[in-house]
Structure 1
Amino acid sequence: MTFRSLLISVNRFANALLRLGVRKGDRIAIMLPNCPQEVIAYYGALLAGGVVVMTNPLYVPREIQHQLSDADVRIIVTLDALVQRVEQAMTHRPLSKLIVTSVKDYLPFPKNILYPLAAKKDGTHVSVTYDDRIVSFTRLMKQSSSDPVKVDIDAEQDLALIQYTGGTTGFAKGVMLTHMNLVSNTIQSQLWFYRARIGQEKYLAALPFFHVFGLTVLLNQAVYNAGTLILVPRFEINQVLKIIDRRKPTVFPGAPTMYIAVIHHPEVHKYDLSSINICISGAAPLPLEVQERFEEVTRGKLIEGYGLTEASPVTHANNIWEKRKNGSIGIPLPDTEARVVHPETGEELPLGEIGELVVRGPQVMKGYWNRPEDTERTLRDGWLYTGDLARMDEEGFFYILDRRKDLIIAGGYNIYPREIEEVLFEHPDVEEAVVAGVNDPYRGENVKAYIVLRKGSSVTEQELKQWCKERLAVYKVPKIYEFRESLPKTLVGKVLRRKLIEEENEKLVNQSKVDL
């Protein structure tokens, strides 16, 4: 798809929305995997003056219901396979319109013919009854004008996106991001990638666009750079390696688990990965061992960045071509200020001391949707309080120790999970590792390590404990080890530490019942 045909399609979709009665400020949910329809719907909704609500297509009805009701969504763009789930979620508050598309709609011939046959064969075929409320995406596009659409926008004040956070406590909060926020962060990220060749870069879009990291560093930045987007609807390592080998992407933003999957693939040497020049890792800490091995395999640069939904999301990154520091998230992006402050008083701390990271810049959100108290707590005098514990060195490089809520306090000692995870990742038999604090009646908390071993490995708990003892102070060494086949993750590949903690708490409750 060329940029010209994309623009025509975007104008058609914007005109279709206006014809359906959408007015400036109306919320439009997009619940799709990475596909052309998602790109068209996103930019079309923005051109029509709408506020996009990106929704994860893996959400269950309860999550859909909360998000669409909270944002007061009127229209959703979704897949035919998801219509039933959306309708079930919105039983008590039906949406005024469902714009429905199918995977086959933008597949080339003959795949568009073969796809429905394959779906019927494997039992995934879905039949949708279209009416005045449930409308066909393709039919809507055919009936719409491609005339340019221009709705007046105040870029600094008008919302472009309500992006829901991961919901670490209770239900997710809607982050209000303006057009200015998103454009600023796109340009800031592009300035970091200052050697980008306009019109020549190929972006491997394996990160989902419904996550703000993928939205900014892939969709918006690729369009800003006139780059080619290679859309990957779902990260599946065998398919991704084939795509890299065949399509030759030059830029591959991702999460650490994606790079881990690449370097541990048993046949990675059979694929040509040399086209990859630049990778920026986000969504979770990047272990040094993973960074070094990935760069060795691809000969490209893999840097760690940092951000959060409330900042559109990128605030820091390591230099791609200049000095970088292992274990650091790098330095602030252009026009971004950052400080380390006392979590309670907000007083700036001396260099090297650990405190809460706060940031200020044009990418920082307007606030939380319909949550003034949460906004007041998180935004103070223009500074965004991230909730992350960090320190800054004498050269201005920042280091994230952990989320404030993930800090483990055992026997009075402050323990940072990331430090222990780095040590575990260095072990040749460990593929993935995450560390969390579990309740202990004597020490307050105990350090527990959840381990996924490389295939064919048989390292014991005692051997891992000895490995840690040689590299960590005794109070940091995990007391408990749990070997697992996999770790719970978000679709972006971020390990859900809170899910593991919830499992531990559930075990305690069940044990208490047994004891009673």
Structure 2
Amino acid sequence: MEKPWLAHYPPEIPHTLDYPKKTLSDYLRETTEQFGGHEAIDFLGKTMTFRELYEQALTFAHYLRTIGLKKGDRVAIMLPNCPQAVISYYGTLMAGGIVVQTNPLYTEYELEYQLNDSGASVLVTMDILYPKAEGLKGRTPVKHWIVTRMQDYLPTVKKWLYPLVQRKQNMPIVRIKENETVHMFRTIVSRKETAPIEVDIDPVEDVALLQYTGGTTGHPKAAMLTHRNLIANTLMCAHWVYKCEKGKETVLGVLPFFHVYGMTTVMNLSVMMASKMVLLPRFDVKQTLKTIERTRPTMFPGAPTMYIALLNHPDLPKYDLSSINVCISGSAPLPVEVQEQFERATGGKLIEGYGLTEASPVTHSNFLWDGERVKGSIGVPWPDTEAKIVLLETGEEGKPGEIGEIVVRGPQVMKGYWNRPEETEQVLRDGWLYTGDIGYMDERGYFYIVDRKKDVIIAGGYNIYPREVEEALYEHPKVQEAAVIGVPDPYRGETVKAFVVLKPGETCSEEELDAFMRQRLAAYKVPRIYEFRSELPKTAVGKILRRVLVEEEKKKLDKSAELPVK
């Protein structure tokens, strides 16, 4: 197929790359051999060198083998961004295990599903999250719980003050009792194992990560990402940011590592490039501004809502953001005005990228430096990545300007969905990944998104799947029918709106539904708006027409925009 976008590549970016036969943990070992004394992590002021990171990951790997972990066994990691998350991730891979990234915001209901679906035998989590995991004992395949504490890796003064912070914020103080199935993280890494672990891993075929994304059944499904998938996407990213120097960059790690975007563009890229990761356990605007000024990061991968929040903070002029040279925005469309404002505030470059979990995740982006940036475009495919438009009506390849489904092919595309051959066949055809996003390519090879074939809602950078929210609503005893859509939100991009039909004779308030949903779903998935109706639009065979609801909301917005300002 023709690849017109290659004509726009600057000479510093190769069209095709070499992919050595290595595992992800090999890169940590090689970086340690070359840059062992360099700082690998800064966590709220506490630093760790690459040598310390490697040694603790290796010790963690030995312990996993001691408690019975075999090649291909799954280890669920339910942690915010912290040193323990990086140690657990690479330690699991060293031991031959498969990482299952688990969102710490999950409810027991969501966690139980993921642990059962993945078959994880080990769960790594925080002490304050442990009660949620402990409540599932006997209901999942987990046999071992590894528990850490936030203060384990804090600077000395902050470690002393942490109990005061817990009391001030009404955080639970959880006492953990070690036994044959419950293990403390600090006890594990204090063993200081040094012998290498030999595990026969095929980087091309062997899965490194199960990354969960939405499913047509309403339940999330896991993309099987191999070592080669993840290495390929990280290498592509390293070549795309070709002006960044190995061993000299500092990366702000506020994107969560349990999201594949943060995992690739912050954690794996930092290990590959020997960059220092500055980790923040959650995004707080004031703390982020202070951290940027203190640590002087040169790279800041993020989501549009993060850049918007920083730009709108009243104290922004008090902080020096001039160290930031490179920002790649993902997870949601990047408004042009946000891009321009943030570049003025930092003096660096902010570009929009595109991807999806099934592609590890990045497939397209605009150029940072020498290539042309096109406003409104997601850019061009990355090295070794092919992309085309498939017409919905005929299934044939579209010509420039024709609208259809974006499909991609490349070494970063997943092996398939975990235990879901039918859903795998729906999206992987002849090596091509059907993204479900509708767009077009111009004559120069730049791609544009115009709509989403999938009904995914992207709120604050999080993917929210309407079917999952609807199924939780249907569990309420008073709900007869429900439909969920995304509606525009000036801050989050989109927010969740639920349309509800109650059973005859029942009454229910928004507050009651909200309390119910917060027990079932992570907070970011819970509807912000409820509308009660007597019926929902349906097809002749009874299928709810979600698209009609979307169009109704659009008309309301258009009508309100036409109203004269008084």
TM-score normalized with structure 2 length: 0.73
Q: 1:56-71, aligned counterparts within 5 Å? A: 56-71=103-118
Would you say 1:372 and 2:397 are equivalent positions? Answer: no
Would you say 1:348 and 2:436 are equivalent positions? Answer: no
Would you say 1:270 and 2:295 are equivalent positions? Answer: no
Q: 1:151-230, aligned counterparts within 5 Å? A: 151-167=199-215, 170-230=218-278
Which residue is equivalent to 1:16?
Answer: 63
Would you say 1:147 and 2:163 are equivalent positions? Answer: no
Mapped to 2, the partners of 1:221 and 1:499 lie a distance apart of 33
Mapped to 1, the partners of 2:150 and 2:405 lie a distance apart of 44
Would you say 1:7 and 2:54 are equivalent positions? Answer: yes
State the one-letter code of the partner of 2:104. P
Tell me if the contact between 1:378 and 1:384 (Cα under 8 Å) persists in the aligned partners.
yes
State the one-letter code of the partner of 2:132. R
Mapped to 2, the partners of 1:372 and 1:293 lie a distance apart of 45
Find 1:33's aligned residue among 67, 80, 104: 80
Output one character per residue of 1:31-65: Cα deviation in whole Å (capped at 9) or x when no partner.
00000000000000001000000000010001101
State the one-letter code of the partner of 1:243. T
Mapped to 2, the partners of 1:51 and 1:194 lie a distance apart of 30
Tell me if the contact between 2:408 and 2:435 (Cα under 8 Å) persists in the aligned partners.
yes
Which residue is equivalent to 2:476?
Answer: none
Mapped to 2, the partners of 1:388 and 1:311 lie a distance apart of 14
Which residue is equivalent to 1:279?
Answer: 327
Q: 1:42-57, aligned counterparts within 5 Å? A: 42-57=89-104
State the one-letter code of the partner of 1:41. S
Mapped to 1, the partners of 2:315 and 2:282 lie a distance apart of 20
Mapped to 2, the partners of 1:71 and 1:212 lie a distance apart of 17
SS in 2 for 1:405: coil
Which residue is equivalent to 1:397?
Answer: 446
Which residue is equivalent to 1:252?
Answer: 300
Mapped to 1, the partners of 2:291 and 2:356 lie a distance apart of 29
Tell me if the contact between 1:387 and 1:404 (Cα under 8 Å) persists in the aligned partners.
yes
Would you say 1:80 and 2:137 are equivalent positions? Answer: no
Q: 1:419-434, aligned counterparts within 5 Å? A: none
State the one-letter code of the partner of 1:333. W
Q: What's the offset of the Cα at 1:102?
A: 0.2
Mapped to 2, the partners of 1:122 and 1:269 lie a distance apart of 29
Mapped to 1, the partners of 2:417 and 2:149 lie a distance apart of 33
Taking a change above 3 Å as real, the CA distance of residues 357 and 452 of structure 1, as seen in their structure-2 partners, is closer
Taking a change above 3 Å as real, the CA distance of residues 94 and 174 of structure 1, as seen in their structure-2 partners, is closer
Which residue is equivalent to 1:459?
Answer: none
State the one-letter code of the partner of 2:245. R
State the one-letter code of the partner of 2:190. K
State the one-letter code of the partner of 1:175. A
Tell me if the contact between 2:391 and 2:405 (Cα under 8 Å) persists in the aligned partners.
yes
Mapped to 2, the partners of 1:381 and 1:148 lie a distance apart of 39
Mapped to 2, the partners of 1:169 and 1:308 lie a distance apart of 19
Taking a change above 3 Å as real, the CA distance of residues 171 and 275 of structure 1, as seen in their structure-2 partners, is same
Mapped to 2, the partners of 1:50 and 1:344 lie a distance apart of 43
- How many pairs does the alignment contain? 437
Mapped to 2, the partners of 1:328 and 1:121 lie a distance apart of 46
Mapped to 1, the partners of 2:70 and 2:291 lie a distance apart of 40
Tell me if the contact between 2:250 and 2:297 (Cα under 8 Å) persists in the aligned partners.
yes
Mapped to 2, the partners of 1:110 and 1:48 lie a distance apart of 34
State the one-letter code of the partner of 1:369. W
Tell me if the contact between 2:246 and 2:273 (Cα under 8 Å) persists in the aligned partners.
yes
Mapped to 2, the partners of 1:95 and 1:54 lie a distance apart of 15
State the one-letter code of the partner of 2:225. L
Mapped to 2, the partners of 1:68 and 1:111 lie a distance apart of 33
Mapped to 2, the partners of 1:266 and 1:122 lie a distance apart of 24
Taking a change above 3 Å as real, the CA distance of residues 237 and 169 of structure 1, as seen in their structure-2 partners, is farther
Taking a change above 3 Å as real, the CA distance of residues 94 and 152 of structure 1, as seen in their structure-2 partners, is closer
How high is the sequence identity, in percent, across the aligned residues?
53
Output one character per residue of 1:342-372: Cα deviation in whole Å (capped at 9) or x when no partner.
1354310111011000000000000000000
Output one character per residue of 1:193-232: Cα deviation in whole Å (capped at 9) or x when no partner.
1111111111000100000000000000011010000001
CA RMSD in angstroms, aligned pairs only: 2.7
Which residue is equivalent to 1:507?
Answer: 532
State the one-letter code of the partner of 2:130. V
5+ residue gaps in structure 2? 1-47, 460-465, 467-482, 493-522, 538-566
Which residue is equivalent to 1:477?
Answer: none
Which residue is equivalent to 1:333?
Answer: 382
Q: What's the offset of the Cα at 1:399?
A: 0.4
Taking a change above 3 Å as real, the CA distance of residues 390 and 98 of structure 1, as seen in their structure-2 partners, is same
Q: What's the offset of the Cα at 1:89?
A: 3.5
Mapped to 2, the partners of 1:90 and 1:193 lie a distance apart of 45
Q: What's the offset of the Cα at 1:453?
A: 7.9
Tell me if the contact between 1:15 and 1:146 (Cα under 8 Å) persists in the aligned partners.
no
Q: What's the offset of the Cα at 1:299?
A: 1.2
Mapped to 2, the partners of 1:128 and 1:499 lie a distance apart of 31
TM-score normalized with structure 1 length: 0.80
State the one-letter code of the partner of 1:77. V
Q: What's the offset of the Cα at 1:401?
A: 1.1
Q: 1:232-243, aligned counterparts within 5 Å? A: 232-243=280-291
Q: What's the offset of the Cα at 1:111?
A: 1.9
SS in 2 for 1:89: coil
Output one character per residue of 1:450-477: Cα deviation in whole Å (capped at 9) or x when no partner.
44489xxxxxxxxxxxxxxxxxxxxxxx
Which residue is equivalent to 1:465?
Answer: none
Tell me if the contact between 2:225 and 2:360 (Cα under 8 Å) persists in the aligned partners.
yes
Mapped to 2, the partners of 1:168 and 1:240 lie a distance apart of 36
Mapped to 2, the partners of 1:104 and 1:72 lie a distance apart of 30
Taking a change above 3 Å as real, the CA distance of residues 81 and 182 of structure 1, as seen in their structure-2 partners, is same
Taking a change above 3 Å as real, the CA distance of residues 453 and 179 of structure 1, as seen in their structure-2 partners, is closer
Which residue is equivalent to 1:362?
Answer: 411
Which residue is equivalent to 1:136?
Answer: 184
Output one character per residue of 1:155-209: Cα deviation in whole Å (capped at 9) or x when no partner.
1110000000145761101100000000000001111011111111110001000
Q: What's the offset of the Cα at 1:254?
A: 0.4
